[in-house]
Amino acid sequence: MVVPAWAALHASCVSAATAQEAVLQLQGATTPVLADVSDAKAPRTLCGISGGNFQPELVTQTMISWYATKGKVDAPGTSVIAVLDLFTGTSTVAATWSGGGFMDGLHAWSPDRGFLAYVASDQSSVTLHLLSGGGDRVVATLGAVPGRGLNPNEDDSYLGFSPDGAYFALVQTFTGSGDQLQVRRTIDGTLAFSLSRATMATWGSSGSKLYYRMPGSSVVQVWDSSAGVSQAFGQPATWIRPRADAGDDYLAFTVRDSVGTPHVWLYGHSGRAGGQLPNVRSSAVWLNSTTFFYLEEASCSPNCGIGPAWQPDGKTFTFDIAAQAEASSRISQVYGTWPRPGQT
């Protein structure tokens, strides 16, 4: 299916694909780019991306996907997930439905691109879909998202496939009914594990281990497909948006202290490496197996609005865990990276 003009993105490439890539926004730029991030301190543009105010994700080394809709919460309309091969210019619609509500279009691809999981949302319900060569199936139906405020330290939505491709998980705190954590088998969408309440989840770097915590809790737990549920580590951590690297068994996450000051922590190799990093930082995103991007935060009191007392100040950095060194960054935002866990 051809991507409609209102939902289209286009690319202009100046170099071939590389071994470490990211779709990101550079400081001062108005459109995203595909960049070589083998040297994360000096990202090199491979392709410019233009055509709409969408947030593209990297599916493969050469392909991006994104979500677009003509709908809104009180007036459902056409929603699409589209894909574009950046180097050939070929674009198609991967999925289409009527939506536009909160979480509509949240999606994830299996490491081999054989399966697409996505969320469709309108004012009546939220549905979780699994799309493959066998068709598009609704594997879970949850209540609609009620109107309420957002707590950035506790509320989150996460959809992802395990690195081994055997499972996918939806973990979210927004729907009016339905289990907040659902782990499902990729082969048929059936339920493997669920919890009524959970938040701030991520798959680990390999296999099928899903890390998460309960809202309001500092106990991090892990569901392992072969070992069940256990406490992930003894250190209390009311972690926020943890993320795993691809290939080196590290988790990076934010923890805010009692006055709201954020710090980035590392947990690696079953607790044998890591700890709290210096400086006031948040929102770590891995660029390659040894380097992540993160934000500096500063006190905003008394002009914080409804947010926390510390918020991003526009300065960004990369941190190399091998060199234990930080560097200023030209990147303002990261949308997706390749390879992801499971693609190394």
**So what's the pLDDT on residue 308?**
83
CA 244 to chain centre: 10
- The reply to whether 169 and 268 lie within a common domain is no
Across the chain, mean pLDDT equals 96
Model confidence over 172-203: pLDDT tens digits?
A: 999 999 999 999 999 999 999 999 999 999 99
Is residue 105 located within the same domain as residue 234? yes
84: confidence class by pLDDT, cuts 50, 70, 90: very high
One domain for residues 123 and 229: yes
Q: Which CATH number belongs to the domain containing residue 167 in this structure?
A: 2.130.10.120
Residues 94 and 112 reside in one and the same domain: no
Please report, as a single letter, which amino acid is at residue 316.
T
Would you state the pLDDT for residue 220?
97
CA gap 23, 84 in Å, rounded: 13
Coil, strand or helix at 248 = coil
d(CA 161, CA 165) in angstroms, rounded, equals: 6
14 and 74 share a domain? Answer: yes
Confidence of residue 289 (pLDDT cuts 50, 70, 90): very high
Burial class (CB in 10 A: 0-12, 13-18, 19+), 68: buried
State the average pLDDT over residues 283-311: 92
CB-based contacts of 22, cutoff 8 Å, min separation 6 = 34, 35, 37, 43, 58, 287, 334, 335, 336, 337, 338
Domain span at 344: 239-344
- 244, 196: one domain: no
The pTM for the full model equals 0.96
Instruction: Determine the straight-line distance between the first and last CA of the chain, rounded to whole angstroms.
Output: 31
Q: Name residues whose C-beta falls within 8 Å of residue 324's C-beta, 6 or more positions apart in sequence.
A: none
Both 258 and 330 in a single domain?
Answer: yes
CA 292 to chain centre: 14
pLDDT tens digits, 150-164: 999 999 999 999 999
Q: Which of 49, 51, 53, 76 is nearest to 63 (CA)?
A: 49
Q: Are residues 182 and 292 in the same domain?
A: no
Task: Mark which of 63, 98, 133 sits at the end of a domain.
Answer: 98
Percent of the chain topping pLDDT 90: 90
Closest CA to 131 of 121, 141, 118, 140: 118
190 and 89, same domain (yes or no): no
**Does 251 lie in the same domain as 173?**
no
CB 277, CB 263: distance < 8 Å: yes
How far from chain centre, in Å, is Cα 53? Answer: 18
- % the chain with pLDDT above 70: 100
Q: How many domains does the chain have?
A: 3
- Give the pLDDT confidence score for residue 262 in this predicted structure: 97
Bridge partners (DSSP) listed for residue 121: 126
Q: Residue 138: which residues within 8 A CB-CB, separation 6 or more?
A: 127, 128, 129
In this structure, the chain runs to a length of: 344
Q: What is the dihedral of CA 260, 261, 264, 270, to 10 degrees?
A: -60
Answer yes or no: is pLDDT of 340 > 90: yes
Q: Is the pLDDT of residue 307 over 80?
A: no
Q: What H or E segment, with its residue span, contains residue 46?
A: strand 44-50
Mind listing the pLDDT tens digit for each residue in 88-144? 999 999 999 999 999 999 999 999 999 999 999 999 999 999 999 989 999 999 999
- When pLDDT is cut at 50, 70 and 90, the band that residue 247 belongs to is confident
Residues 69 and 56 placed together within one structural domain of the fold: yes
CA pair distance 17, 37, nearest whole angstrom: 11
> Rounded mean pLDDT of 263-282?
92
Confidence of residue 210 (pLDDT cuts 50, 70, 90): very high
Please say if the pLDDT value at position 270 is more than 80.
no
User: Distance (Å, rounded) from C-alpha 130 to C-alpha 132?
Assistant: 7
Summarised one tens digit per residue, pLDDT across range 85-99 is 999 999 999 999 999
Residue range 332-340: mean pLDDT, rounded? 97
124 and 227 in a common domain: yes
**How high is the pLDDT of residue 273?**
85
Domain end position, chosen among 238, 266, 295: 238
